[in-house]
Structure 1
């Protein structure tokens, strides 16, 4: 690539976009790559602070920012992702499915360590919608050595793509609302509508919602009933505190389920429970879910609906970022909570 004075560039082909910015009004390309400079362009280019333009030199071993962006995008993108045509040297990776963004973090770190390469993204395990921007790719200068882009491609051939979007599965869900006060009609059920709304987002098939008094054997019986109905997920609400008459955790344990965690370093939702019974996740949801818009349940459900098997360590890691600020206008998932 070589530098040419604007006044001497008439008839030459511009090899990069030239951006124009009007604060608060416009930001975009005033001149596009491959534009042929004409005499009328000279004053406009000078007003944009461009006293020189750049044209290609043959056999320089370099790659243009647009071509680099496309090649990087093609290398790092996996399932259920598309990319846009480059604009001003960068291309954007877009989700084609509603699901959970998965990122090979160590691979992304290694790629971003390559000279001139920049690929920012949303965080891993982020809930994404169809057509949502998930990452971008560009090089810092106008051109880079082609070997830098080949390094990106070779790493992705070796380790697989950096990004993928895992769609949610249509799970069959059973809901058990525990508490004698609800069962006997003394108070209105506040859990059911909340849980239904949350699982509806994932396209769940709700195969039943049962009410149960505070009796250990009856609570266990409801779990067994949903297991017999081939539930993929059982959600238990109520009776999750440490009070002696709160029996839900004991009932879950009594089925022989493997308890992954009872209690998590997250607020709201400290008393959350996860167990697996013959591979079926059972969630014990504390009372916070009926009051707060966002709790640990919102961080766990996307992983459950992508059929991820969670471990105790997954919950321990939630501690950093696990204290919700209870913002007046909730922005979740566009915030730090449970990242």
Structure 2
């Protein structure tokens, strides 16, 4: 890749390295410069521009990130993860469910060592995951990288299992709480509450709870009666020796000790045992607190079906000093600052009157043997959005029938005659309360597919100033769909008239990220019989894949 100042006469087709303003026109970094852009720069009195130009052996940043993401997670579902669409040279690996991340550091280090333009970052090995949390990210630093380097790094990642997100497999656990003379009942209640919260955070239910004397035989009887897949013992007095009451009870019940004690503080007095193939985890008094403890590390691994050996516990000492880390997020919280895939509510705006169609309903025009309305809905459902809400006119039975059987919700817009703003308001009012963003999608755009939607979602990154993501066509011209972060919901809910969200886009231009999408789909809508006829004449309908 060549990088540096280029005279404008040689800059067409190059990638702009730094954002510029030319005669009031904002040209953002990463833009592939076209003839109009060069003219604007020349009119602004510029003679050269800092840009990047790909060489014959180079691979663009998004293509490279996509290839490495696929090598890092070749079968995402089997790995318990999903891959985001590439955007600005980045692909994220996101967990599908609560669980633990396993990372092969040697593979990650080797891939990172191929070329400084290629970077892979992951959470630590055995990191706690929750749904939608980012587990790893691939980032290509420059605008392009040597194809040979990308293929070498991908080959390294394919040589093993670089990462896997292990979901929680345990479903039910039994609690055994013991009491000693003078122990306040409230401490038993506090311990039970803390253990139940730990298990609930993992999605594990409590099968039964037994409270008994802190006595070997009483505990052994409770162990035999327990019905859970795992047994947790929280003693009224912490064990200080393998021959103490709780560990001795496991042996008396026919079990065997795996490891007594661990090099993690708090958590030193944790023990792990096996009772007929069912694990027993003995907990120290620190388990009454929600703070992170070494016993949490073992509990999480057992919950995910991972084997925990004595040697593995012995190896937890490095990084095992926990009590002096007040900033560490509690495991039950899931890590408040963790990067997540956003919860996106897709609003399919389908309450228009088709006033330019000469009496026909444009949303019932067929594309590939089905109404375009249904096709647009299916594209959204197949994408990475979290829910689809179709906004229809009241009593529009034909459009309602066109959506039958699809995984979406229908909302009627009683003010449909007002225009698109009323549909946006109606859709927003129906979105799920935890929605991070709303994607506004039009129902008369026949070439928009799930991949276009996914690209827009990938472009949404409020932490980096991209709080609005808008699809652009292959020439960089803005179009639809448009994704708005939650911070703009109030502004959208105050819209009126038929201009859609244009006012919000204009007022917040600095937050808008244009997301390049293939072809002309982002700009092509069909509003008139003539437009439909011309599009069909091109043969686009027959040539499209379902």
| SS of equivalent to 2:221 | helix
Aligned pair in 2 of structure 1 residues 182, 69: CA closer, same or farther (>3 Å)?
Answer: farther
Aligned pair in 2 of structure 1 residues 54, 306: CA closer, same or farther (>3 Å)?
Answer: same
Aligned pair in 2 of structure 1 residues 192, 181: CA closer, same or farther (>3 Å)?
Answer: farther
Structure 2: distance between partners of 1:121 and 1:245: 41
Structure 2: distance between partners of 1:110 and 1:44: 47
- Contact conserved, 1:181 with 1:187, CA < 8 A, in 2? no
Where does residue 322 of structure 2 map in the other structure? Answer: 324
- Contact conserved, 1:68 with 1:138, CA < 8 A, in 2? no
Structure 1: distance between partners of 2:186 and 2:135: 47
| Shift in Å, 1:38 | 3.0
- Contact conserved, 1:45 with 1:51, CA < 8 A, in 2? no
Where does residue 196 of structure 2 map in the other structure? Answer: 196
Structure 1: distance between partners of 2:45 and 2:163: 39
**Where do residues 72-221 of structure 1 align in structure 2 (5 Å cutoff)?**
72-77=68-73, 78=76, 79-116=79-116, 117-159=118-160, 161-181=161-181, 188-221=188-221
Query: Which sections of structure 1, spanning at least 5 residues, go unmatched?
Result: 22-28
Q: Which has the larger radius of gyration?
A: 2
| Shift in Å, 1:245 | 10
Where does residue 59 of structure 2 map in the other structure? Answer: 63
Query: Which sections of structure 2, spanning at least 5 residues, go unmatched?
Result: 21-26, 337-546
> Aligned Cα RMSD in Å?
3.1
Structure 2: distance between partners of 1:244 and 1:302: 23
Moved more, 125-134 or 176-185: 176-185
TM-score normalized with structure 1 length: 0.82
Structure 1: distance between partners of 2:72 and 2:293: 32
The higher relative CO (CA closer than 8 Å, separation ≥ 6) is in 1
| SS of equivalent to 2:122 | coil
Where does residue 238 of structure 2 map in the other structure? Answer: 240
- Contact conserved, 2:17 with 2:51, CA < 8 A, in 1? no
Aligned pair in 2 of structure 1 residues 20, 133: CA closer, same or farther (>3 Å)?
Answer: farther
- Contact conserved, 2:173 with 2:229, CA < 8 A, in 1? yes
| Shift in Å, 1:167 | 0.9
TM-score normalized with structure 2 length: 0.53
Structure 1: distance between partners of 2:131 and 2:43: 43
Structure 1: distance between partners of 2:242 and 2:67: 61
- Contact conserved, 1:84 with 1:93, CA < 8 A, in 2? yes
Corresponding pairs, count: 318
